[in-house]
Amino acid sequence: MITTFTENDLLRYLYGESTDNEKTSIENALVCDSELEAKYFDLKLDSSLLDGLLFDPADFTLDKIFSFSCNYQSGT
């Protein structure tokens, strides 16, 4: 039986939200269907791009947080 998958299905798979059955079916389909595979890799590439988009707060902000934590006592 041929199962067709939408890009929404691929997106759920990419983010680990497919059921075990769906996951197996999609993985099988990706091997056989080069068009589907291309769509999946596009989504994966876009998503990995976002992994690189991370910013770090300034050290002085972290120092203030740690200082607050050291000095804070519950109930005070």
Contact letters for other proteins, residues 33-72 (x by CB under 8 A): ---------xx-xxxxxxxxxxxxxx--xx-xxx-xxx-x
Which residue type sits at 1? M
Q: Which is nearer to other proteins, 16 or 32 (CB)?
A: 16
19 CB-near residues (< 8 Å, 6+ apart): none
The C-alpha atoms of residue 53 and residue 55 are separated, in whole angstroms, by 7
In the complex, which residues of this chain contact other proteins (CB under 8 A)? 7-8, 11-12, 15, 17, 42-43, 45-58, 61-62, 64-66, 68-70, 72-75
